[in-house]
Amino acid sequence: MKYTRSFRIWHWLNAIVVLGLVATVLLRKGFLSYRTNSEIIMTKLSEIGVDIFKEDAVVIAKAIRAPMWEWHLLLGYALAFLVVYRIALMFFDKSKREDFASLDLHKKGVKVSYYILYAALIFMTVSGFAIYLKEELVLAEATVKSIKELHELVYNYFLIFIPLHIAGVVVADIRNEHGIISTMINGNTKDNF
């Protein structure tokens, strides 16, 4: 398989953005969890003789993680751009077009997994912006809650897809698609922009 420069640029930028988005969520739910950090704030302040209400500790804990969450929003904008870029590539980049019927079962499975990936990327972009723009879109609180729940559910797909994708590419490179990794890095093709 040969990849054009345009597709490789999309692939690596998309990888960076998706990994960044996943990292911000992992940080939010892990090291920067407001629940955990508010307890730490209350305990440490209490040790030096300062008592605060739990609600105040939560406000401080959320303020600590706010700059990191701004990165999530910036990466969300980048993802939106990359989704549009990938849609454009579907029309202009002829290198990725294959007759689905002519593919073997394994290749069909791989192709379907990429279609699911693209659908998940589109959904995450649209739902993320719906959550962020809830007031401008005049969305009911119940609707926003449902969208958030689906957004977080689809996020789990990326936690599964990322390691499977990396493992699958490494296995393919070792077994029957020698050079697939280096081709995605350096192209090995006449680049068409």
Residue 189 has pLDDT above 50, yes or no: no
Whole-prediction pTM: 0.84
What's the rounded mean pLDDT across residues 8-12?
93
Arithmetic mean of pLDDT, 171-188 = 83
How many whole angstroms separate alpha carbon 5 and alpha carbon 8?
Answer: 5
Is 70 exceeded by the pLDDT of residue 99? Answer: yes
pLDDT tier at 119 (50, 70, 90 boundaries)? very high
Average pLDDT (41-49) is 91
- What domains can you pick out in the chain, each with its CATH number? 5-186 (1.20.950)
Integer Cα distance of 120 and 154 in angstroms: 7
**Separation of alpha carbons 189 and 2, rounded Å:** 6
Tell me the per-residue pLDDT of 48-90, one tens digit each, with 9 for 90 and over. 998 899 999 999 999 988 888 899 999 999 999 999 999 998 8
